[in-house]
Amino acid sequence: MNNELIEKIKKLNQQHNAVILAHNYQRPEIQDLADFTGDSLGLSIKAAETDADVIVFCGVKFMAETAVILSPQKTVLLPDENAGCPLADMITADQLRDLKKKHPDALVVCYVNSSAEVKAESDYCCTSANAVEVVNSLPKNKPIIFVPDQNLGQFVIEKTGRDLILWPGYCHVHVVITEEDIKNAKAKHPDAIVMAHPECTRPVKALSDELLSTGQMLRYAKQSEAEQFIIATETGIIHTLKTQNPRKEFFPATDKAVCPNMKRITLEKILWSLQELQYKVTVPRDVRLKAKKALDRMVEILPRK
């Protein structure tokens, strides 16, 4: 069944000169099928560079919007129009404008997990892979507003020593991972390295060995001498970690860390998306041009390796 679907998808993909981009949290069969799988930063760079006419974005809406902003001449498809990111929805452009009024001298850094309208109100964008570099590149005398994820923001404060103005947003998938989960996993696998995403809560991060974006986790696992790893992020990444490192072991900190929006994308929906060229993601021109400035500044700043 899957093979038949995959063959049909590949054929249509070629016919439309399309490229399938998938986030590291996608279902295993989608990560295997994709032309490129990566973290938010890697996917943004691919979207900007590809010469395909159509991008089928297997991820959530803000990621597809980012592809539109960076490559407006391309058709960007999101196979499920309801695949959103509740974290991105935790701040609106109006709320950010109000915050800017309270801190008129501040520069605004927004996490890529945000709407196009919020990006348009921001000076810089960042992902979890380069948030520290982006903040470190800003003038020392300037206050900085950081939206919308308070947990990533807290991590950036600790790494840079800068006093950021935070917004109380959070990712509901990462905050379900508890200190208890990490302690239990460590008790079961005492030699394992704990890799956590910066969206995890502070106590979870304090118990972890490495704080990394999903792309950085994949690189770290390949290069590390360690043989066992506890993974404190969405469990979808474990598929690719295992595929790329067949002799190493990977244990989720908890099976509860599953992003329902990421899992909305299925092979059936990808096929439908290519057949109907739906759902086309669009961003109004004025918003797109303003948001692009914040994203371009981000893409110029090198990510943490």
Between 278 and 297, how does the x/- string for binding to ligand 13P read (CB under 6 A)?
--------------------
Calpha distance 162→222 (Å, rounded): 32
Closer CB to ligand 13P, 131 or 267, in the complex: 131
Q: Which residues pair with 22 in a beta bridge?
A: 37, 58
Closer CB to ligand SF4, 12 or 85, in the complex: 85
Between 102 and 121, how does the x/- string for binding to ligand 13P read (CB under 6 A)?
-----------x--------
Q: Which residues pair with 20 in a beta bridge?
A: 56
Helices (H), 92-178: 93-102, 116-120, 131-136, 150-160
Kindly state the smallest distance separating residue 58's Cβ from ligand SF4, in Å: 12
Helices (H), the chain: 2-15, 28-33, 40-49, 61-70, 93-102, 116-120, 131-136, 150-160, 179-188, 202-206, 214-223, 237-244, 267-276, 285-300
Among 18, 21, 85, 177, binds ligand SF4 (CB under 6 A): 85
Question: Contact between 37 and ligand 13P (CB under 6 A)?
Answer: no
Calpha distance 41→299 (Å, rounded): 8
Kindly state the smallest distance separating residue 233's Cβ from ligand SF4, in Å: 8
CA distances to 46, 121, 195 from 92, rounded to whole Å, are: 27, 10, 31
Calpha distance 153→166 (Å, rounded): 6
CA distances to 196, 242, 287 from 220, rounded to whole Å, are: 12, 13, 36
Question: Contact between 86 and ligand SF4 (CB under 6 A)?
Answer: yes
Between 12 and 51, how does the x/- string for binding to ligand SF4 read (CB under 6 A)?
----------------------------------------
- Can you tell me whether residue 214 is helix, strand or coil? helix
Question: Contact between 151 and ligand 13P (CB under 6 A)?
Answer: no
Among 40, 71, 114, 122, binds ligand 13P (CB under 6 A): 40
Kindly state the smallest distance separating residue 70's Cβ from ligand SF4, in Å: 18
Question: Contact between 201 and ligand SF4 (CB under 6 A)?
Answer: no
**Which part of the chain contacts ligand SF4 (CB under 6 A), choosing from 48-56, 64-72, 131-139, 258-266?**
258-266
- Can you tell me whether residue 228 is helix, strand or coil? strand
61 interface partner picked from ligand 13P, ligand SF4, none, CB below 5 to 8 A per type: none
The site for ligand SF4, by CB under 6 A, has a size of 11
Closer CB to ligand 13P, 50 or 113, in the complex: 113
Contact in structure between 126 and 152 (CB atoms under 8 Å): no
Calpha distance 40→213 (Å, rounded): 9
- Can you tell me whether residue 260 is helix, strand or coil? coil
Kindly state the smallest distance separating residue 285's Cβ from ligand SF4, in Å: 26
Residues that bind ligand SF4 (CB under 6 A): 60, 85-87, 113, 171, 173, 234, 259, 261-262
Residues that bind ligand 13P (CB under 6 A): 24, 39-40, 113, 127-128, 171, 197, 199, 213-214
